[in-house]
Amino acid sequence: MKLELEIDRESGVPLTEQIVRGVQTWISSRTTHPGAKLPSIRQFATDYGISRFPVIEAYDRLVSLGYLDSRHGSGFYVADHARPADGATGASDPRRAEEESVHIFEEFDHPGTLLKLSSGFMPEAWRDMDSLGQAIRHVSRVDTVSMIDYATPLGHPTLREHLASRIAQLGIHAEASQVLITMGASQALDLVMRYLLKHGDTIFVEDPGYFNLVGLAKLHGVKVVGIPRTRHGPDIDVLQAQLQQHRPRLMFINTVFHNPTGTIVAPPVAFRLLQLAREHRFTIVEDDIYADFQADITDRLATLDQLESVIYIGGLSKTLSSSLRIGYVVANREIVKDLADIKVLTSLGGSRFAEAVAVAMLERGMYRKYLDRLRRRMRDALGSAVQALEANGWELFERPVGGKFVWARVPRVENSERLVECGLPFGVRLAPGRHFKPTGDNTPWVRINAAFAADPRAQRLFEAAGKLED
């Protein structure tokens, strides 16, 4: 059987990407059925006159995404769960959920063939691989037990001391006993939700905001209310209006270098947020995962509040290493103790080895030197990205002063799906802006990771998209 796919070797879109999307469309079109066998890799390559290598990569990716099953010695078949259910629509539509899952999985498609311009990752070449290697070798020599044992529930004592010292530089006064090490900030968010929320509770999140946070909240059966993010922080007028209708247990906020707009909460907004939190008795969860990108320190909500109405979350994954998965929660001792208990119940413990490597990087001064270089590199990349976007007629939500994200749109384009389509011929993958909307509604905005914006493929996209008309 030959699949009727459109494969264009002259389009500029990598063949692997064309095959993946073509098979996805074929499966979703209901012209096939679960269990249907696909052509062999050799036959597919012969049918379309292409090399076997993009077919191998495409089939492997489709298996990873759940569209195909691989049966050893037999071939590839349409997976039983690949076809969407009948009659599903709206935010709960399984087809939408599948699409969102594909987007998330594509973030981890390394090395991949497309430029992931909306990615949250740092380019591999920007990481301090030499220092990481030195730290790993050091720990392997002097702390061999760390390679086989769990970390303690609260996390490496020395690492907690270092982190308490680091947040003290932000004006947040906490002892090491108030710091809990987690497997990335994502686990920190999950632990806080498990601890403070029950099914049916309401939380406030920023709109746009971190897409994984909304998915996590829905997993916990929590109602999500979006508060528009302005250039100065959450829209206080909308927040006050929503507080008349809802009684949120938590509000999640990026104070510095907000994902995806790159903005910073202004002091008057921060003060009013804390006033409202105390008045309406909700807790603010301050996600400060991009703190180390900031050279000139500004006040955090936890600085102003000193952890009375604020739970503070940070991490090293965005800068040091995504693989090490080092996040942390800072709160009062009672909360930290309870969160540690939940952590033990759900994951036993973290990686003692990863935590020891992070300690080595901090103690030996390698992380500080790396951050200095990274900040300079990121600042230059951000400036170049802003210049390129504006030169091609793009509109910026705000000119970010740091971090790595630019929230941008093309003035005459009302749906960012058109920008996604525009990027593919140039070998660029963009995430539509609705991925960052709590409601999933279409929006003209897209997130640009400035670290990848200097790539010639991105530059060609900026120019072409700037000429689009609705």
Q: For residue 52, what is the domain's CATH number?
A: 1.10.10.10
DSSP 8-state code for residue 308: S
One domain for residues 100 and 195:
no
8 domain residue, yes or no: no
153 domain residue, yes or no: yes
One domain for residues 416 and 325:
no
Quickly list DSSP for 403-423.
SSEEEEE-TT-S-THHHHHHH
4 domain residue, yes or no: no
23 domain residue, yes or no: yes
Q: Residue 396: helix, strand or coil by DSSP?
A: strand
Q: Cα–Cα distance between 8 and 125 in angstroms, integer?
A: 32
One domain for residues 93 and 136:
no
Q: Cα–Cα distance between 243 and 269 in angstroms, integer?
A: 16
One domain for residues 151 and 189:
yes
**pLDDT, tens digit, 9 for 90 and up, residues 3-55:** 878 888 776 678 888 898 888 888 877 667 888 899 999 999 998 889 888 89
One domain for residues 152 and 87:
no
One domain for residues 323 and 273:
yes
pLDDT in 10s for each residue of the chain, 470 residues: 678 788 887 766 788 888 988 888 888 776 678 888 999 999 999 988 898 888 988 898 888 788 898 887 788 999 876 644 333 333 344 334 444 444 444 555 555 578 999 999 888 889 899 999 999 999 999 998 888 888 899 999 999 999 999 999 999 999 999 999 999 999 999 999 999 999 999 999 999 999 899 999 988 999 999 999 999 999 999 999 999 999 999 999 999 999 999 999 999 999 999 999 999 999 999 999 999 999 999 999 999 999 999 999 999 989 998 888 999 999 999 999 999 999 999 988 889 999 999 999 999 899 999 999 999 999 999 999 999 999 999 999 999 999 999 999 999 999 999 999 999 999 999 999 999 999 999 999 999 999 999 999 999 999 999 998 76
Overall pTM surpassing 0.85 (yes/no): no
User: What residues have CB less than 8 Å from 445, skipping those under 6 apart?
Assistant: 208, 260, 397, 407, 408, 409, 416, 433, 436
DSSP 8-state code for residue 91: G
Q: Cα–Cα distance between 126 and 266 in angstroms, integer?
A: 30
326 domain residue, yes or no: yes
10 domain residue, yes or no: no
One domain for residues 341 and 383:
no
- Domain containing residue 400: CATH number: 3.90.1150.10
299 domain residue, yes or no: yes
Per-residue tokens: 192 = 């806080």
**Residues of the domain holding 57:** 15-107
10 burial type by CB count under 10 A (0-12 exposed, 13-18 middle, 19+ buried): exposed
**Is the distance from CB of 410 to CB of 394 less than 8 angstroms?**
yes
Q: Cα–Cα distance between 305 and 313 in angstroms, integer?
A: 14
One domain for residues 75 and 197:
no
Q: Cα–Cα distance between 61 and 68 in angstroms, integer?
A: 9
Task: Single out the residue of 283, 195, 204, 277 nearest to residue 246, CA to CA.
Answer: 204
One domain for residues 98 and 40:
yes
**pLDDT, tens digit, 9 for 90 and up, residues 78-137:** 987 664 433 333 334 433 444 444 444 455 555 557 899 999 988 888 989 999 999 999
Q: Cα–Cα distance between 349 and 291 in angstroms, integer?
A: 25
Per-residue tokens: 39 = 């052509």
One domain for residues 23 and 57:
yes
One domain for residues 385 and 353:
no
Last residue of a domain, one of 364, 390, 408: 364
Overall number of domains in the chain: 3
6 domain residue, yes or no: no
Q: How far apart are the first and last CA of the chain?
A: 40
One domain for residues 337 and 318:
yes
Last residue of a domain, one of 333, 364, 395: 364
Q: Cα–Cα distance between 47 and 38 in angstroms, integer?
A: 12
Residue with tokens 């601890």: 195
- Domain containing residue 161: CATH number: 3.40.640.10
